[in-house]
Amino acid sequence: MRDLLIFFGEYRNFDVIIPQLKNLDKFDIVFSTWNFTKEFSYVDKCPEKYFQKDISEENILKYIPSAKVIISKREDKYFNNTTNMIYHWKTAISEIDDDKYRRVFLHRCDMISTFDIMLDENFEEDTIYLQSEGIDTNGLFINDYLFAGNFNIMKHFINSFDLDESYVNHYSIGEVITKMNFSYKDIRTLNNVVKYELARYDHRMILEQLNKENMFFFDLSKTNEAYINYMKIFNKN
């Protein structure tokens, strides 16, 4: 049985992200996104100045010809950030036959990562693999970048959410995990440590240059100029 990869959420800069992702041929792929994408510059610090682009199937099939593409009309949905993502999870998983896949990987469209190294991991049957910052005064904090697990537990996880506008970013995912008593493990504790970074408008030129030179961001040393400039955008240096 094959593994299923679901790209979800904002398309943003996926065209320069996809050359940074390895082993996509090892997955069947579903891509669930909106009919247009919005982005703004973090460097200019002008969130009111959006860059907007219409998205169609061609924007995705150009890079992943075999993908099943689901485009939803954004103007008909007014969800908050977390509920937006859950909408795409539920939309994608509803299109999938239960007995077709071994595992499911949920991967944000606007992120570069080394998620493919999890292909060599032996997943525990009822465990969700994710990235958590632990419990603080607001509850269990779960990053919404990447989730993985065997098919049945992932479908159960996804279907445990409603499209609830009261969801709070990060913490409402943790709340559902706690309420449903889901077992989970942090992907940073795996034998092969998964690396990931969001790729936003200000990262675009850096990724374009790396792609042109057939270089992978996560192969760069931390002293490399491109690595330093990339991390500066989110003040991570």
The answer to the question of residue 132 being in a domain is: yes
Q: pLDDT: is 192 or 35 the higher one?
A: 35
Output the pLDDT for position 217: 98
User: Alpha carbon of 146 to those of 9, 41, 85, 142, 231: distances in Å?
Assistant: 12, 23, 11, 10, 19
Mean pLDDT of the chain: 92
Question: Confidence class of residue 115 from pLDDT cuts 50, 70 and 90?
Answer: very high
Checking if the pLDDT of 47 tops 70, the result is no
Owning domain of residue 160: 2-202
CA distance 170 to 18: 25
Output the pLDDT for position 99: 83
The answer to the question of residue 46 being in a domain is: yes
Checking if the pLDDT of 40 tops 90, the result is no
pTM: 0.94
- Residue-by-residue DSSP string for 182-206: -EEEEGGGSSS---EEE--GGGHHH
Checking if the pLDDT of 212 tops 70, the result is yes
The answer to the question of residue 128 being in a domain is: yes
Q: What is the pLDDT of residues 9-26, one digit of tens each?
A: 999 999 999 999 999 999
The answer to the question of residue 231 being in a domain is: no
Output the pLDDT for position 234: 77
Tokens of 153: 């537990």
Output the pLDDT for position 149: 97
Number of domains in the chain: 1
The answer to the question of residue 109 being in a domain is: yes
The answer to the question of residue 24 being in a domain is: yes
Burial zone of 78 (CB within 10 Å; 0-12 exposed, 13-18 middle, 19+ buried):
exposed
Q: List CB contacts of 96: < 8 A, sequence separation 6 or more.
A: 4, 30
CA distance 205 to 210: 9
- The percent of residues above 70 in pLDDT, for the chain, comes to 95
The answer to the question of residue 14 being in a domain is: yes
3-state helix, strand and coil shares in percent for the chain, rounded to the nearest 5: 35, 25, 40
Question: Residue 15 — left, alpha, or beta (φ > 0 → left; ψ -120 to 50 → alpha)?
Answer: alpha
Output the pLDDT for position 98: 79
Least confident of 50-54, 91-95, 127-131: 50-54
The answer to the question of residue 224 being in a domain is: no
Checking if the pLDDT of 237 tops 60, the result is no
Q: pLDDT: is 121 or 192 the higher one?
A: 121
Tokens of 184: 């989970």
Give the CA dihedral 187, 188, 194, 198, nearest 10 degrees. 90
Output the pLDDT for position 76: 66
Q: Residue 47: what residue type? A: P
Tokens of 182: 């889901």
Q: Residue 29: what residue type? A: I
Q: What is the pLDDT of residues 123-169, one digit of tens each?
A: 999 999 999 988 998 999 999 999 999 999 999 999 999 998 888 88
Least confident of 44-53, 72-81, 128-137, 199-208: 44-53
